[in-house]
Amino acid sequence: MVAKAWATAQEKEKKAVDELFFSNESVSLCLLVNRRAKTMRVIDFRAGPSEAKRKFVHALAKREGVEKMYTLVERDEVGTWAKLGFIKEGNIPGFYKRSDAFMLGCLPSAYVPPAEPTTSEVRIAVAKKKTRLEMARLAMPDLDLAPPPPPDLDDEDEDETGPVDTRAHDLAEKTLVVAKKRAKELAGKGANVPVKIASLSEADARKAAAAAVKAGRALTAFEPFGRDFERRYFSLTARGGFELVVSTESQSCFGNAFVELLVAPKGEADKPIYVAALAALVAKLIADGVVSCFSLVPSDDVTLATAFVANGFRRTGLLQSHMAVGAARKDAMIFSRKLANPADE
């Protein structure tokens, strides 16, 4: 009854609701559906793998037209989500202040559910096992053949990375190599570009985001990444009429910040000013006591990657088909940077 009532209510609000809840005796989940980017973050309130959880998550992704599912977990839950069809794609150092977060993703269109053995296959396997045990007893009567304990479902020795799209990784690697080279060539030049940073109202930020989406340039529309967060908006300006709208989503209990730049550079000419703008934002975050920050960059955007590399960010992951920029789906590189050491507190 709970599931039916939940589904009916959500169908009525399908176009407006981004945060969906589901709970029964088997699963307890919150699903954040980004309808613009067609992504869905899974937040699990009941740890551990289960067939019911796997089926529900994949069924809902199909119903909502989602093209990418992902979840953010601590290290001990990585193995669990690998068993549910998710692939480890990266990590965010210091996301939980004193520990890292791991991002796992799944492309519903490419997911193949595990084959369930037929009744005859199960019977054959059981018969073979009984035969082997009986032969062992006859050969070694003193051998202890007590059944072993059940396997640990959270065993992390199992392969968690899954299949790798080599073309996607090759493109990201090529982008990073060029970005590192250009960041070295640019060293010190961005500091000569004066940038002013000012708080921006949510209404003005949303207006700018709507215009960027309409123009096909938006990297984000400032949709929620998580729950129970504080979101701030800033305007970074420089001479010549340059303005970059950015936003940070933070959880004060962890001291982290998800940094979102509304648009990417138009070309190479914007590179020094983006380096300077990002430096100004990082200085603001450090002054505000943020411990770690991260951002997502299209894997083919050398200029934007250069700005992050020049500001001390490291690539810590690659999220397949994670971003929607204009009419295109793009892989996203995770760029992360620790701003403070919480152990010094």
Domains of the chain: 2-110 (3.40.630.30), 167-344 (3.40.630.30)
pLDDT, greater one: 262 or 150: 262
For residue 130, pLDDT beyond 90: no
Q: Is the pLDDT at 177 greater than 80, yes or no? A: yes
Q: How many CB atoms lie within 10 A of CB 86?
A: 24
Band of pLDDT at residue 252, cut at 50, 70 and 90: confident
What are the tokens at 21?
């809840």
Write down the pLDDT at residue 46.
Answer: 87
**% of the chain surpassing 90 pLDDT:** 64
pLDDT band at 33 (very low <50, low <70, confident <90, very high): very high
Confidence of residue 319 (pLDDT cuts 50, 70, 90): very high
pLDDT in tens, 89-109: 999 999 998 899 999 999 998
**Max CA separation in the chain (angstroms):** 89
Query: What percentage of the chain has pLDDT greater than the value 70?
Result: 77
Cite the beta strand spans of the chain per DSSP E: 19-23, 28-34, 39-44, 68-73, 87-92, 101-106, 196-199, 230-238, 242-251, 256-261, 292-298, 314-325, 328-338
Its sign, for the CA torsion 87, 92, 93, 99, is negative
**What long-range pairs does 199-205 form, CB within 8 A, spacing at least 24?**
199/232, 199/233, 199/234, 199/235, 200/233, 200/234, 200/235, 200/245, 201/233, 202/231, 202/233, 204/233, 204/235, 205/233, 205/245, 205/247
Distance CA 187, CA 115 (A): 54
Confidence at residue 105, expressed as pLDDT on a 0 to 100 scale: 97
**Listed range (39-53, 64-78, 154-168, 241-255) with the worst mean pLDDT:** 154-168
- pLDDT: which is higher, 124 or 152: 124
The C-alpha R_g of the chain, in whole angstroms, comes to: 24
250 and 285 Cβ atoms separated by less than 8 Å = no
pLDDT at 2 over 70: no
Cβ contacts of 80 within 8 Å, gap of 6 or more: 47, 48, 49, 73, 153, 154
> What pLDDT score was predicted for residue 141?
55
The amino acid at 167: R
pLDDT at 340: 84
pLDDT band at 302 (very low <50, low <70, confident <90, very high): very high
Give the model's pLDDT for residue 127: 57
Q: Counting Cβ atoms within 10 Å, is residue 232 exposed (0-12), middle (13-18) or buried (19+)?
A: middle
- Which residue would you say has higher pLDDT here, 151 or 262? 262
Residue 93 pLDDT: 95
Close Cβ partners of 34 (under 8 Å, ≥ 6 residues apart): 18, 40, 41, 223
CA distance 94 to 336: 9
Do β-strands 19-23 and 292-298 pair in parallel, antiparallel, or remain unpaired? unpaired
Q: Tell me what pLDDT residue 16 has.
A: 36
Please say if the pLDDT value at position 221 is more than 90: yes
Q: Which two tokens stand for residue 161?
A: 């990375």
Look over the chain and give the mean of its residue pLDDT values, rounded to a whole number: 84
The DSSP annotation for 261-314 comes to ESB--SSGGGHHHHHHHHHHHHHHHHHTT--EEEEEEETT-HHHHHHHHHTT-E
Average pLDDT over residues 146-168: 51
Q: Are strands 101-106 and 68-73 parallel, antiparallel or unpaired?
A: antiparallel
